[in-house]
């Protein structure tokens, strides 16, 4: 019996102050979790256009933080 089958895991972790934005460890662990039947939610690969964590949005957030402009 696989008690983990159909359970869900959100790959929470640092993204802003990490060189690869946390992409590497998420890619490494995902196949293992999926082999256990776990449904994986990865913030790097969101299935929507809302709240994307892509390189472009990361650059915008970095610039706004540097300018201390949290209004946008």
In a domain, 15, yes or no: yes
Query: Structural domain of residue 21, as residue ranges?
Result: 8-66
Report the distance separating Cα 63 and Cα 16, nearest Å: 12
Report the distance separating Cα 59 and Cα 72, nearest Å: 13
Residues 6+ apart with CB under 8 A from 42: 11, 26, 30
Report the distance separating Cα 32 and Cα 27, nearest Å: 10
In a domain, 71, yes or no: no
In a domain, 49, yes or no: yes
pLDDT in tens, 2-42: 899 999 999 998 887 788 888 899 999 999 999 999 999 99
In a domain, 13, yes or no: yes
Is the model's pLDDT at 72 over the cut of 60? no
Predicted structure pTM score? 0.66
In a domain, 72, yes or no: no
Q: How many domains does the chain have?
A: 1
In a domain, 3, yes or no: no
Which letter does DSSP use for residue 12 in this model? -
């Amino acid at each position: 019996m696989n008690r983990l089958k159909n359970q869900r895991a959100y790959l929470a972790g640092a993204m802003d102050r990490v060189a690869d934005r946390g992409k590497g460890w998420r890619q490494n662990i995902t196949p293992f979790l999926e082999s256990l039947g776990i449904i994986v939610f990865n913030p790097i690969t969101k299935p929507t256009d809302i709240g994307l964590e892509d390189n472009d949005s990361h650059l915008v957030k970095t610039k706004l933080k540097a300018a201390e402009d949290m209004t946008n």
